[in-house]
Structures are given as C-alpha cells and as structure tokens.
Amino acid sequence: MNKDGESFSLDAWEDFSVSSKTSYSSATELYESFKIYKNQLKSLPKSELVKRGWISSKNDTTSLVNLFKEIHRNHDSALYRKSDTASFSLTSLWFSKIKSQAEVSAFKNSTRSFEGIDKNKLRTIAQLSVDVNIITELPKILSNLGIILIYMRSLPSMKLDGVVFKIDSGHPVIGMSLRYSRLDNFWFTLLHELSHIYLHMDLLNNPILENFDIESNSEIEISANRLAKSAIVDRHVWRNCEPKYDKSFEAIEKFSSEIGIHKSVIAGLLRREQGNYSSFSRLVNEINTREVIFGHD
C-alpha cells in the first residue's frame, strides 16, 4: 500500500514486461505513462467502479492494470495525450475494459475470422431493427461475421457513444456505451461503426471514439454517417418519402413498414435531419435499449 492508501501488488503486473525489444522499453516513457495513469486515476468515480466490480475497493489500483498497459502501449498516441479531463479519464478506462474483453473473446476462439462486410450485409443488419429484442442476439450474429460487439454501460458523465477499432487478431471490435437508451440511437451508432469497418478497416489500428453530441467535419465521419443512413434507407427513397412532408405518426409507421425498418429509427432520422429533437419524443422513447439488454435501466 502506498502513501495514498492505494494497494499495489507486483503480482498483478507480472505479465507486463519492459523489454529492449519493444518500442516502449524506455524508463522515461514508462515514467511518463505512469504520470498520465496517475492523473487519470484521480478523475475516476471509485464508488461506481467498486459497484461494477472493476475494483475491489476505492484504494484498489492493481485491478486497473489494463488501463496502465493501454496508456503505455499507446504512449505517443493522441488517444492518451489529448486530454487530462475527467471525461477523458472515463473514456480511457472504458476503452481499456472493452479492449481487454475483446481480446479474451478472440483468444477463446469464440469469434470467426473476419473476412469483410459489404453494403448488402449492412442493409440486412439494419432490417433486423424491426424486432426490438434482436439487439440481445446481435453480438452472436456479428460474431459469425468475425466482428466482436460488446455492450458496456457508459460511466457517469462519460461523453461517448461508441468505439470501433481492430485488435491484434485482426478482428474488428465495436463497443457500445448505451449512453442514450433510445432505439434510434442504438441502431445509428451500430450502423455507423459497421460503416467504419466497411470503409476504414485499414485505419482501425487506432480506435475511433464517437461522441455524436458533437457534429464532426471529418471526412471519415461524414462518410460513415452517409453509409449508415443509406443502410437504413436508400437515398433516393428517403429524398421523397412521405414522412418528410406528412409529419404524422401514421406516415412514419406506414413508411417504416414498407422499407422494413423500425419506426423509431425512421423518427430518429427525421429528428436528426431536421434538427428538431423535441419531435416524435414519445415514439423514440418507447423502447429502452438498456432495459432490453441488461434487464434494467
């Protein structure tokens, strides 16, 4: 136990070797990584982490070894250097947990090799939205395509909707925080991340972190948004569809039935496109995805 009352056991760090063969062997880099790690620890909600079982007590830091490993492994990456804010500390920890779980999944050979995904498959996945409960089956469905999907609740005050990246096994990984419980948000986030896998697989050695509260001008994000939307509905069909002009629940229900997409997803597209997030509130909030997935909100 150190002077701050934090428990520290060398046993927990045995598998973390510093070798001259690695790019992060410098003692200086190790120290810099540790400083970043210590700064991030200060911002973490220890009570929440105890509640989740991520640490055994508020003074337990050895259980967060994967966070330190990830910081050190990506010492020069913008991911771990761009901010020391509380929100970023939460993001760093959440991401390290997603990555660790994905690597375990790949190691257990529970996920097929990834052989690619095409636009038709994106459309097929989008049309699964008509069955609300299918979201509990999606990790298994995507596993059969070689894609690892992990649901992990957002930490309090964490400003992140999802992440997509690639692990050493070659598997693409999607992590979803379910920060917002709406069904339209769930499906847009999932399809956006799948679009990154289709469009930008070669870039996914570095994680793409998504906060959809902030509109991005990045061409990478714009192209993923565009493809996600077209997976839901063809551009030419959407351009002149009835709900864009007849803004009634009946028009949305009729159109969603015609194209095989859940009505909440269509309502969400309309809200997003029109910039009116007070419209169709009852419709988009009918389903709580956290309750569907976890059994409670």
Give me the phi and psi of 149, to 5 degrees please. -115, 125
Q: What is the pTM of this model?
A: 0.85
Q: Tokens 């070894």, residue?
A: 65
The pLDDT score that the predictor gives to residue 12 is 45
State pLDDT tens for residues 150-183. Answer: 999 999 989 999 999 999 999 999 999 999 999 9
State pLDDT tens for residues 109-125. Answer: 778 899 999 999 999 99
From residue 253, alpha-carbon distances to 125, 242, 262, 278, 287 in Å are 20, 11, 8, 18, 15
Average pLDDT of the residues in 203-226:
93
Average pLDDT of the residues in 97-114:
90
Give the residue extent of every domain in the chain.
1-84, 85-294
Judged by DSSP in three states, 7 sits in: strand
Give me the phi and psi of 90, to 5 degrees please. -65, -45
The pLDDT score that the predictor gives to residue 70 is 74
97 neighbors 159 (Cβ within 8 angstroms): no
State pLDDT tens for residues 260-293. Answer: 999 999 999 999 888 888 899 999 999 999 999 9
From residue 196, alpha-carbon distances to 190, 204, 223 in Å are 10, 8, 8
